[in-house]
């Protein structure tokens, strides 16, 4: 037993007694116990005190100038030309008079007449009316997309009422027209004529049964068109965008208004016109006669503006009485007003304001 143990220990003793067989250590290492390579702590400590080597910086290569960099920058500078007014004072005056006539041309009764013409071509199935709504509101309502058996079609929706000619319950006024329309519709009748109504229209015109004063009121906004030949010479044949409110009274010759009289109020904005003037605007235009108390019946209060083909507005301001009973004295009451263009005073215009009140039976042309 002892014999084998000694044989096992002898090789170990021989290895421990031999010289180290490991190779030399690399830089930065030292040999310990003649056998192990470990970090040379002294070399590391001395290296921390030395500055690291600095590599020389390479100068960037210059890139060749492109054609854009060598171009003169002044070639890209845009010198805006000073704008100039396109319209003369005479053209502005004529435009204001045209604005009055165009506004008076917007007869709301035509909207309701044209719609009733095509609505009458409907049948029991098309369009489908809301009977409950009619019972509660005394107005028609349909919302549909359908084809009429005899030809034609309805699409969209409409709330409507059409009074026609009648005497009110108190037997005070004779109504020559009274209508309401609110919707967005396209209706084709059996003859192929198309009515397009996208917007709102409400109007009435009437005459006092005993006093014979005639009055009107209209509120209309949107786009209305008809290709029926009955309306080819009216504003419904033109593709106009309209927003307006106007009202007024034509007073009969009696003890209160000797010689008759008038009062009118207009707010309007109309675009889609063709020619040198493509849009018009009448804002707060009010005018009434001396026979009902005005201190200036030859000039209205308010602003009338026209816009040229470049989109510039020419605004004329007038100084007539701004409301019933308001004062107006010379030089304000001269039927003239200053014109402003882009904030610059261009001069003065004196339009024909009889166009505002030149009516007896109906104010619409």
pLDDT at 18: 46
pLDDT at 332: 78
Residue 56 counted as domain residue: no
For 39-55, what is the mean pLDDT?
58
pLDDT at 55: 61
pLDDT at 73: 66
Residue 150 counted as domain residue: no
pLDDT at 17: 44
Decide if pLDDT at 114 tops 50: yes
Residue 220 counted as domain residue: yes
Residue 190 counted as domain residue: yes
Q: Over the range 345-362, which residues count as b (16 or more CB within 10 Å of their CB) and which as e?
A: ebeebbbebebbbebeee
Residue 308 counted as domain residue: yes
pLDDT at 234: 97
* Contact call for residues 339 and 113 (beta carbons, < 8 A): no
The parent domain of residue 247 ranges over: 89-125+157-356
pLDDT band at 10 (very low <50, low <70, confident <90, very high): very low
3-state helix, strand, coil in the chain (%, to 5): 20, 35, 40
Closest CA relative to residue 280, chosen from 77, 115, 92: 92
In a 10 Å sphere around its CB, with 0-12 CB exposed, 13-18 middle and 19+ buried, how is residue 340 labelled?
Answer: middle
* Contact call for residues 89 and 348 (beta carbons, < 8 A): yes
Residue 147 counted as domain residue: no
Domain total in the chain: 1
pLDDT at 256: 81
Helix (H) or strand (E) run with residue 67 in it: helix 67-70
Residue 272 counted as domain residue: yes
pLDDT at 316: 98
pLDDT band at 62 (very low <50, low <70, confident <90, very high): low
pTM for the full predicted model: 0.76
Residue 115 counted as domain residue: yes
- Lowest mean pLDDT segment, chosen from 28-32, 88-92, 252-256, 285-289: 28-32
């Amino acid at each position: 037993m002892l014999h084998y143990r000694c044989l096992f220990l002898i090789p170990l003793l021989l290895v421990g007694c031999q010289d180290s067989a490991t190779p030399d250590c690399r830089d930065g290492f030292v040999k310990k116990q003649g056998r192990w390579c470990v970090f040379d702590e002294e070399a590391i400590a001395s290296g921390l005190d030395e500055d690291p080597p600095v590599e020389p910086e390479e100068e960037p290569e210059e890139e060749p100038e492109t054609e854009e960099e060598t171009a003169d920058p002044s070639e890209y500078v845009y010198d805006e030309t000073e704008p100039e007014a396109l319209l003369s004072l005479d053209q502005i005056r004529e435009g204001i008079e045209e604005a009055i006539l165009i506004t008076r041309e917007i007869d709301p009764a035509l909207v309701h007449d044209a719609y009733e013409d095509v609505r009458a071509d409907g049948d029991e199935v098309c369009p489908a009316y809301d009977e409950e709504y009619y019972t509660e509101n005394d107005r028609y309502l349909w919302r549909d997309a359908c084809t009429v058996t005899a030809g034609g079609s309805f699409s969209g929706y409409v709330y409507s009422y059409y009074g026609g000619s009648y005497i009110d319950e108190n037997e005070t006024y004779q109504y020559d027209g009274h209508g309401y329309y609110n919707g967005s519709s396209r209706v084709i009748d059996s003859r192929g004529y198309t009515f397009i109504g996208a917007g709102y229209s409400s109007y009435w015109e009437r005459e006092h049964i005993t006093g014979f004063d005639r009055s009107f009121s209209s509120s209309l906004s949107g786009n209305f068109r008809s290709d029926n030949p009955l309306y080819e010479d009216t504003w419904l044949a033109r593709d106009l965008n309209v927003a307006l409110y106007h009202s007024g009274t034509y007073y009969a010759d009696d003890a209160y208004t000797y010689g008759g009289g008038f009062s009118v109020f207009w707010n309007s904005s109309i675009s889609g016109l063709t020619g040198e003037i493509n849009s018009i605007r009448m804002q707060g235009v009010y005018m009434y006669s001396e026979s009902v108390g005005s201190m200036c019946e030859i000039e209205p209060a308010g602003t009338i503006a026209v816009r040229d083909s470049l989109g510039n507005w020419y605004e004329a301001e007038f100084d007539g009485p701004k409301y019933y009973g308001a004062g107006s004295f010379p030089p304000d009451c001269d039927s003239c007003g200053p014109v402003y263009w882009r904030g610059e005073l261009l001069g003065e215009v004196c339009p024909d304001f009889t166009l505002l009140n030149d009516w007896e039976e109906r104010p619409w042309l």
